[in-house]
Copies of this chain bind each other. A is one copy, B any other.
């Protein structure tokens, strides 16, 4: 039995979406147990699952506009912090929250703790590609600044994850750069290119360009947190803008366009689903001593369910243990 701690109070649709996701997951997986942290009365309104769910009542919670480090210092009884604390105390093996990303990162760092040998955990997420599959990208913004050494570690972390969780053999690891040639980029990229070229534990395929990301040119894409954040938000923003423009084109296009859209409905929905991030699970704060996973703030029940499923796979395949092993080897001595 695997025990997962879940912050019931984080995100735009909490606790409803969170608890409904838990209902689905408990019905589907008989080998997990869930500890829900938050307002007991409100949680009970939505809780259907009768077994393997415990509610740990608390009235405190971290808001989306709370300053992260202040919040985790002052709100010791917040649902998110109690979840992280449960992991630290060995009462749960992983923690999930759809709340304040900065606070979850801080809780991950200061409560759950880094893996020895990892300097700075990264935010990593599965992004969908046009062939209906996906790739892992990191760092998506856990850090505003990164060194070449950090990116070197991210390449290894991402590769371990893609192999253990997505089942990709020898995942192709690419470095996001402003050109594909080996000599491209700023000094940071050039240094990382050199480090990854000499890294025997991964299958480094060289530089890749942002234009090719959604064509699945790599299984793991490594970049610094500032660029990763900008690229992720650009993908989301461009996708949203195009669908908004499509909707407007249909509305302005008169009866003919509306009839056309009606006939194309299934195809358009299929395409939207393909671009939908929710089935890909949450963003993993990788490099911590246990899975700490962030659901999107706007998550509905489905997306919470998929995140629980993803965490279950991470636990089953012992991805954290594998990373701990790798970084406690000769690597640890280089520090």
Residues of A within 8 A of B (CB): 129-130, 141, 144-145, 176, 178, 184-187, 189, 209-215, 223, 225-227, 229-231, 233-242, 244-246, 248-250, 252-253, 256-257, 259-268, 270-271, 274-275
**What's the nearest-Cβ distance from chain B to residue A49, in Å?**
35
Interface centre among A225, A245, A271 (most CB of B within 10 A): A245
| Measured CA separation A248–B264 after assembly (Å) | 12
**What's the nearest-Cβ distance from chain B to residue A106, in Å?**
15
A250 touches B264 (CB 8 A): yes
Q: Which applies to chain A's interface (DSSP): helix, strand, loop or mixed?
A: helix
Residue of B nearest to A129 (CB): B241
**What's the nearest-Cβ distance from chain B to residue A137, in Å?**
11
A249 touches B267 (CB 8 A): yes
**Cβ 8 A contact of A238, one of B239, B252, B268:** B239
**Cβ 8 A contact of A178, one of B144, B185, B242, B266:** B144
30 interchain pairs, CB-CB under 8 A: A129-B241, A130-B241, A130-B245, A141-B178, A176-B230, A178-B229, A209-B233, A210-B229, A210-B230, A211-B240, A214-B238, A215-B241, A226-B227, A231-B234, A234-B234, A234-B235, A238-B239, A238-B242, A239-B242, A242-B275, A246-B271, A249-B264, A249-B271, A250-B264, A252-B267, A253-B264, A259-B260, A260-B261, A260-B263, A260-B264
**Cβ 8 A contact of A230, one of B178, B241, B248, B264:** B178
Given known contacts A260-B267, A267-B253, A267-B257, A213 and B186 CB-to-CB distance under 8 angstroms: no
**Cβ 8 A contact of A270, one of B187, B210, B249, B256:** B249
A230 touches B233 (CB 8 A): no
| Measured CA separation A187–B146 after assembly (Å) | 12
Residues of B within 8 A of A185 (CB): 144, 226
| Measured CA separation A252–B253 after assembly (Å) | 24
Residue of B nearest to A250 (CB): B267
Residues of B within 8 A of A261 (CB): 260, 264
Residues of B within 8 A of A244 (CB): 130
